[in-house]
Amino acid sequence: MTARGFVPEVAADLPPGERPMVAVVRAVPGHEEQLAAAITTLTGSVRREPGCLEFRSFRDFANPGVFHLYEIYADPDAFRAHLATGHVADFFTALARHSTSDAGALVQLVELPGSVTSSAEAR
């Protein structure tokens, strides 16, 4: 059996500028609250990173063992720096214990041209 990998690969050809992404993380049954606590701790730490523009964590209303993380970093280098922090290493340890997810849970996004970037601009 292959060990799960938690550190995502950061492609060299990512577009410059802001680096948005989402991750869907699933808890091991019975470990929902431990995973929620680890995500809450991670959220507070990541929001203090200089290259983090936004980090929001959500619990799926219909499936309380499923969590959604929405992240935006200033650029690919800020995301690389994020991955090298101690709080991310601690989170990956918690993922190994309390989740069924791995690095494949993270999806890199590219914003569509002309999309609205804030709800204030949409009004």
Q: Identify the pLDDT of residue 60.
A: 97
Q: Tell me if 118 is assigned to some domain.
A: no
Averaged pLDDT for residues 17-23: 92
Task: Please compute, for residue 21, the number of CA atoms within 13 A of its CA located in the half-sphere on the CB side.
Answer: 22
Report pLDDT digits (tens) over 32-78: 999 999 999 999 999 999 999 999 999 999 999 999 999 999 999 99
* Number of other CB atoms surrounding residue 8 within 10 Å: 17
Q: Tell me if 80 is assigned to some domain.
A: yes
Q: Output the domain CATH number for residue 32.
A: 3.30.70.100
Report the domain count for the chain: 1
pLDDT higher than threshold 50 for residue 83: yes
Q: Tell me if 64 is assigned to some domain.
A: yes
Q: Please give the residue range of the domain that contains residue 26.
A: 19-110
